[in-house]
Structure 1
Amino acid sequence: MIQAHAVRLFTERGYDATTVADVAEAAGVSPMTVYRHFPTKEDLVLADRHGRLVAERIAASSAAQPLVRRIGGALIDSAAALTGGRHGDDLTADRRFLLTRLRLMISTPALRARHLDNHYALQRAIVDALGDDAADPERAFHAQAAASACLAVLHTALVRWAEDDGRTELSGLIAEALTAAFGDDILEPADGTGASQPVGRAGRR
Structure 2
Amino acid sequence: MARWEPGARERMVLAAVDLFTEQGYDATTVAEIAERAGVTKSTFHRHFPDKRDVLVAGQQSLSALLTEGVAEAPEGATPLEAVAAALRKVSGEMTSFNRELGPRLKAAVAASAELQERDALKSVGLAVALTEALEARGVPQVTARLAGELGVLAFHHGWSQWSGSDGRTDLATYALGALEELKAAATAL
Q: Secondary structure at the match of 2:26?
A: coil
Assess if the C-alpha contact under 8 Å between 1:128 and 1:134 holds in 2: no
Q: Which has the higher helix share?
A: 2
Instruction: Summarize the alignment of residues 48-67 of structure 1 with structure 2, pairs less than 5 Å apart.
Output: 48=58, 49-67=61-79
Q: Does 1:176 align with 2:180?
A: no
Q: Which residue of 1 aligns with 2:187?
A: none
Q: Which residue of 1 aligns with 2:145?
A: 144
Q: Which residue of 2 aligns with 1:29?
A: 40
CA-atom RMSD in angstroms:
2.6
Instruction: Summarize the alignment of residues 1-205 of structure 1 with structure 2, pairs less than 5 Å apart.
Output: 1=8, 2-26=12-36, 27-30=38-41, 32-48=42-58, 49-83=61-95, 92-130=96-134, 132-134=136-138, 139-162=140-163, 165-167=164-166, 168-183=169-184
Report the CA distance between 1:70 and its aligned residue.
Answer: 0.6
In the alignment, structure 1 segments of 5+ residues that lack a partner are 84-91, 184-205
For the structure 1 residues 74 and 160, does the alpha-carbon distance in structure 2 shift closer, same or farther, using more than 3 Å as the test? same
Assess if the C-alpha contact under 8 Å between 1:55 and 1:126 holds in 2: yes
Assess if the C-alpha contact under 8 Å between 1:133 and 1:143 holds in 2: no
Report the CA distance between 1:107 and its aligned residue.
Answer: 4.4
1-structure distance, mates of 2:29, 2:159: 27
2-structure distance, mates of 1:106, 1:71: 28
For the structure 1 residues 169 and 13, does the alpha-carbon distance in structure 2 shift closer, same or farther, using more than 3 Å as the test? farther
Q: In the TM superposition, what whole-angstrom CA distance separates every residue of 1:100-120 from its partner, at most 9, and x where no partner exists?
A: 334433443322211110111
2-structure distance, mates of 1:61, 1:171: 15
Report the CA distance between 1:34 and its aligned residue.
Answer: 2.6
Q: Secondary structure at the match of 2:137?
A: helix
Q: Secondary structure at the match of 1:130?
A: helix
Assess if the C-alpha contact under 8 Å between 1:123 and 1:147 holds in 2: yes
Q: Which residue of 1 aligns with 2:4?
A: none
Assess if the C-alpha contact under 8 Å between 2:131 and 2:148 holds in 1: yes
Percent identity among equivalent residues?
Answer: 27
2-structure distance, mates of 1:170, 1:144: 23
For the structure 1 residues 55 and 160, does the alpha-carbon distance in structure 2 shift closer, same or farther, using more than 3 Å as the test? same
- 1:47 counterpart letter in structure 2: A
What TM-score, normalized to structure 1?
0.68
For the structure 1 residues 153 and 28, does the alpha-carbon distance in structure 2 shift closer, same or farther, using more than 3 Å as the test? closer
Assess if the C-alpha contact under 8 Å between 2:55 and 2:119 holds in 1: no
Corresponding residue pairs, total: 169
Report the CA distance between 1:64 and its aligned residue.
Answer: 1.1
Q: In the TM superposition, what whole-angstrom CA distance separates every residue of 1:91-137 from its partner, at most 9, and x where no partner exists?
A: x34421344334433443322211110111112222333353358xx
